Amino acid sequence: MKPTTCYVPVLASVLLGCALFAGLGANAAEPDRPRLVTVSGQGEVQAEPDRALVTLGVESRKPKLDAARAEVTKTVEAVLKLTRDMKLDQKYVRATRVNVQPEYNWDNNARERNLIGYFVSRQVEVELRDLEKLGLLLERATDLGVNQLGEPRLDSSKRRDLEREALGKAVEDARLNAEAIAKAARAQLGPARTISASSGFVAPPVPMRVKAMAADAGGAAESYQSGQMNFTGTVQIEYDLIVASP
């Protein structure tokens, strides 16, 4: 009877050898971890506003709906005529729909509510492209019966360009920061790998009202002295850091 040959040890040796070879190959193929530096940068640009969004509101409370609505309609029509008389571009003038709300009080004895009148409101929104007319518009609108006057919201027609300029300054600031770090680390700055950015603007405080004489107003009219708008950019950039071989 022939002895049985056992191949298990040989097979185990082959598997072990393959595992060692695979491990050595993986270690040899593993790339060096890149040396990186991450920095942030800020940029800011200032500019004067050249436009304003003005909201002129009219509200009325009357026992009868028709009376309240008529009062609001009359004032709004007068304000729209004012914008035409001031030669404001009508494509930047918009009147909202009439808002009507019935008002009630509660009768505790009868345990029921009673209709006491109506609240009617409407707004005229003007995107003013000539800030020299801002004070005159607000004063005359008030004289016509506007009783809800929102503070003007200032803006710039070049806002997007100014935000881009601020972003450019932020990128330059980040690069200078990265170069300073690389120099201190006795390394060289490589190309940028990733960049994240954000921009925005901060409107000036509520414009300061200044009394000024308006020849066509027949007296003292309010003008507005606006401040500077701040346009900001913020970036975060990841650069390669090239370290010289020893």
Torsions phi, psi for 139 (to 5 deg): -65, -45
Q: Which two structure tokens, joined as six digits, stand for 126?
A: 């003007």
Torsions phi, psi for 20 (to 5 deg): -65, -40
For residues 91-110, average pLDDT: 93
pLDDT band at 203; cut points 50, 70, 90: confident
pLDDT digits (tens, 9 = 90+) for 156-168: 999 999 999 999 9
Q: Measuring CA to CA, which residue among 58, 92, 99, 96 is closest to residue 75?
A: 58
pLDDT digits (tens, 9 = 90+) for 54-99: 999 999 999 999 999 999 999 999 999 999 999 999 999 999 999 9
pLDDT digits (tens, 9 = 90+) for 17-35: 444 444 545 554 556 677 8
pLDDT digits (tens, 9 = 90+) for 125-143: 999 999 999 999 999 999 9
Question: CA torsion, points 160, 230, 49, 53, in degrees to nearest 10?
Answer: 80
pLDDT band at 202; cut points 50, 70, 90: confident
Show me where the domains of the chain are located.
Answer: 33-49+157-246, 51-155
* Bridge partners (DSSP) listed for residue 114: 105
Q: Rounded distance, CA 116 to CA 98, Å?
A: 20
- CATH assignment of 51-155, given 3.30.70.2190, 3.30.530.20, 3.30.70.2970, 3.40.50.970? 3.30.70.2970
Superfamily in which the 33-49+157-246 domain is placed by CATH: Protein of unknown function (DUF541), domain 1 (3.30.110.170)
Give the pLDDT score at 110: 83
Mean pLDDT estimate for the chain: 84
Q: 124-133, 213-222, 223-232 — which one is most confidently predicted on average? A: 124-133
